[in-house]
Amino acid sequence: MSGKSAIGIAASVILASVGLTATFFCLGLPVILVGQAGRWIHADIRSVSPENVAIVFGAGITPDNRPSDVLNDRLKVAAELYRTGKVSRILVSGDNRREDYSEPDVMFRALISGYGVPAEDVHVDYAGRRTYDTCIRAHDLWGIDRAILVSQDFHLPRAIWTCRKLGVESVGASASLRTYERGDRFRYREIFADYKAFVDIYVWRPDYVSGDYVMDLD
């Protein structure tokens, strides 16, 4: 083998290594970092340390304004956290961009009339359009520094990681109470959502609906 050929092969190997490393940092690292938050997920709420507030993330409502199966399980777990004294307040946060679509209102009514949580202990955030928005508004508008996040296992790692990066020390209470019809789709979507969360935190902070300080729920 000639010297030039050997140099060419070595250069190709170096370029390939650099390319793989760049791919790892661009694609693999966000998933790994976000996934590490899974260690703060509690499958059994009895193992969760008490906090003042639980945050429930929106997850879709039906055309007749009832919680989707995914959302209903989140509300059920949040109500159980309240009933067992793990939290004294619940913040429901979801999408309310359309006049005929209000996740927060549906969540509020379900907790009160469906699960018996007193209305004065349920607080409504009308601009939790996505996980980032819910987390940053919880900290900046609601004064929350610590919380129990209520969602399913496929979403909790990203929710915990995002909230912690935005100033809310969080653990998760799992609401994975059944097998969901689109469960595989949710899990695959989270891979891309993890990458977006990484970009939101470290590269380009997205716009969100800000506002005046509401109250201190901590």
Q: How many CA atoms lie within 13 A of 114 on its CB side?
A: 17
The Cα 139–Cα 88 span in angstroms is 17
pTM for the structure as a whole: 0.85
Question: Strand 122-125 to strand 41-42: parallel, antiparallel, or no bridges (unpaired)?
Answer: unpaired
Question: Is residue 200 classed exposed, middle or buried when 0-12, 13-18 and 19+ CB atoms within 10 A define those classes?
Answer: buried
Average pLDDT, the chain: 86
Is residue 14 very low, low, confident or very high in pLDDT (cuts 50, 70, 90)?
low
Can you give the pLDDT at residue 183? Answer: 55
Return the domain boundaries, the chain: 8-202
Distances in Å between the Cα of 155 and the Cα atoms of 20, 94, 107, 114, 172 are: 28, 15, 18, 24, 10
Which helix (DSSP H) or strand (DSSP E) does residue 189 occupy? helix 183-202
Can you give the pLDDT at residue 188? Answer: 76
Q: What are the beta bridge partners of residue 148?
A: 54, 171
Fold classification of 8-202 is Rossmann fold (3.40.50)
Can you give the pLDDT at residue 18? Answer: 46
Please check whether residue 208 is in contact with residue 136, taking contact to mean a CB–CB distance below 8 angstroms: yes
The Cα 82–Cα 71 span in angstroms is 17
- 191-217 tens-digit pLDDT: 788 888 988 998 888 888 887 777 677
